[in-house]
Amino acid sequence: MSIDGQKSLRKLPQKLLHKVDQKVFDALYSRSLVYNTCWEDPAVDRRALELRPADRVLVITSAGCNALDYALTGVARVHAVDANPRQSALLELKLAGIRRIELEDFYALFGDGRHKDAERIYRQALRVQLSTFARAFWDRRIRWFSDTNPRSSFYFHGLSGVVARGFQSYLSMRPTLAHGVAALLETRTLDEQRETYDALVQPHLWGRGLNWVLSRGVTMSMLGVPRPQKLEVERQHRDGVAGFVREAIEYVFRDLPLRSNYFWKLYLQGRYDRDCCPEYLKPANFTALKAGLADSVEVHTCTVTEFLRASRDPITRFVLLDHMDWMSSYLPRELHEEWQAILERASPGARIILRSAHLRPAYLDTVCIGGRPLREILKFHDGLAWALQPLDRVHTYAGFHIADVPA
């Protein structure tokens, strides 16, 4: 057999694996609520965006937490855009709750993740506020908030929630590790937290079993990470996805205060704490949203390109998360069209923030608009991005990028 033939045979399994992973991701994404909470730090976003009262923000909806966070700054409009109608349905439910119920019931649903009267509240107060799709979706799933199992929670449902629930099961089989995690949640200083992690958690957390699970394509798909992002991580980290995740987790639990890290605490315990939760769950902020700030949020179920082409609203701030990573591999033509629509609809000087599995995503150099690559068209603030990246309490993205459209 020729050398070229041998190379082709070696490539075939990878191509097949790529197709299988893509089909798994597509199947899961097209049928499921992927994110039950936002996995991007809005405190970092606010500093990067420098939001002003006149701003009109486009944000990928995800779970809607950050759209509500931006609304709290008093901006003119927040357009929450997502192609997955289930993510829109979750934000619709939150908006209905803000408008129709009081804080204690709202916090039980979205803070504790469970309410004994969830189905009654939904039928009597929330359902009427929802779109047709959202109503049908929650008619079948409102029980996620009212499961009779005292250890259950809304945050153990949806794809990312299933992974979190799987970790809870893992802890139940590892009592020594479970004790260490419980002790970690009780720490009060960063020094105490670091010592607890090093002594009681780290020695019992990492092993072949967990490394194997983290390296599986289906696990990453359930966390909303498609194969192209997984491959980017593997290219940049010698220990692959498991090594990257370990590095991220050790930074989070050794170098960032857990007391204010509601992202990771949520999945460790299945609920938020009153003093450690997203801004929209805090009493004064909930009152402000109910008094009118929530009215600035508009929910759109469509692609970014579809929204921009249909809207005449000039956008001054774009929060694009990491969706362009997988578009660059699966939908390169659509990615080009999206950037074209962004630049056409953006106000002069509009700011864009995006995250990536790559420190320097290739599409910023390969996507050309008017014959010029994005890297030349946009003005990047690499210094600010590098300064903010270490403060990110989630810390699961290799790249954070801030750029301005030409004025």
What does the alpha-carbon distance between residue 204 and residue 187 come to, in Å, rounded to a whole number?
Answer: 18
Higher-confidence position of 2 and 97 = 97
pLDDT score at 8 = 44
**If you average pLDDT over residues 357-376, what whole number do you get?**
93
pLDDT digits (tens, 9 = 90+) for 214-259: 555 555 544 555 555 556 565 666 666 667 778 888 999 999 999 9
Is the pLDDT score of 176 beyond 70?
Answer: yes
Neighbours of 26 (CB within 10 A): 13
- In terms of Cβ atoms closer than 10 Å to its own Cβ (0-12, 13-18, 19+), residue 230 is buried
Q: How many CA atoms lie within 13 A of 378 on its CB side?
A: 27
Burial class for 121, CB neighbours closer than 10 Å (0-12, 13-18, 19+) = buried
Amino acid symbol at 285: N
Cβ-based neighbours of 106, under 8 Å, separated by 6 or more: 97, 98, 281, 286
pLDDT at position 205, please? 84
Tally Cβ neighbours within 10 Å of residue 262.
Answer: 21
Question: How many angstroms separate the first and last alpha carbons of the chain?
Answer: 59
Q: Which of 22-26, 76-80, 148-152, 309-313 has the lowest mean pLDDT?
A: 22-26
| pLDDT confidence bin for 2, thresholds 50/70/90 | very low
Q: What is the pLDDT of residue 171?
A: 87
The CB density around residue 108, as the number of other CB atoms within 10 Å, is 19
- CA pseudo-torsion sign 235, 402, 91, 300: negative
DSSP assignment string, 94-155 = HHHHHHHS-HHHHHIIIIIS--TTHHHHIIIIIGGGS-HHHHHHHHHHGGGGT-S-TT--GG
The residue with greater pLDDT, 329 or 373, is 373
Residue type, 81: V
The pLDDT tens digits for 101-136 are 999 999 999 999 999 999 999 999 999 999 999 999
Q: What is the number of helices (H) and of strands (E) in the chain?
A: 23, 9
Structure confidence at residue 363 as a pLDDT band (50, 70, 90) = very high
State yes or no: pLDDT of 155 exceeds 80. Answer: yes
Instruction: Work out whether the CA dihedral 348, 349, 351, 352 comes out positive or negative.
Output: positive
pLDDT of 165 reads 87
Mean pLDDT of the chain: 88
379 or 21, which is more confident = 379
Spatial strand order of the sheet with 297-301 comes to: 297-301, 77-82, 56-60, 315-319, 346-356, 399-404, 379-380
Most trustworthy range by pLDDT among 30-44, 227-241, 268-282: 268-282
Confidence of residue 1 (pLDDT cuts 50, 70, 90): very low
Given a cut of 90, is residue 6 above it in pLDDT?
no
Where is average pLDDT lowest: 10-14, 18-22, 110-114?
10-14
pLDDT at 77 over 70: yes
Banded model confidence at residue 169, pLDDT cuts 50, 70, 90: confident
Residue 9: pLDDT above 50? no
**Count of CB atoms within 10 A of residue 394's CB?**
17
Domain ranges of the chain: 154-269
Residue 59's DSSP bridge partners are 80, 319
Contacts (Cβ under 8 Å, ≥6 apart) of 19: none
Rounded-to-integer distance, Cα 48 and Cα 42, Å: 9
Q: What pLDDT is recorded for position 353?
A: 98
- Weakest-pLDDT range from 130-144, 207-221, 347-361: 207-221
Summarize the confidence of residues 402-407 as an average pLDDT: 96
Percent of the chain with pLDDT over 90: 69
Q: Are 68 and 297 in contact (CB under 8 A)?
A: yes
User: What are the beta bridge partners of residue 300?
Assistant: 81
- Structure tokens, 294: 């929530």
φ, ψ for residue 318 (rounded to 5)? -120, 130
Higher pLDDT, 308 or 358: 308
Q: Are 300 and 333 in contact (CB under 8 A)?
A: no
| Section 126-153 average pLDDT | 91
Q: Identify whether the C-beta of residue 198 lies closer than 8 Å to the C-beta of residue 205.
A: no
Q: What is the mean pLDDT of residues 69-75?
A: 98
Predicted local confidence at residue 10, as pLDDT: 43
β-pair type (77-82, 56-60): parallel
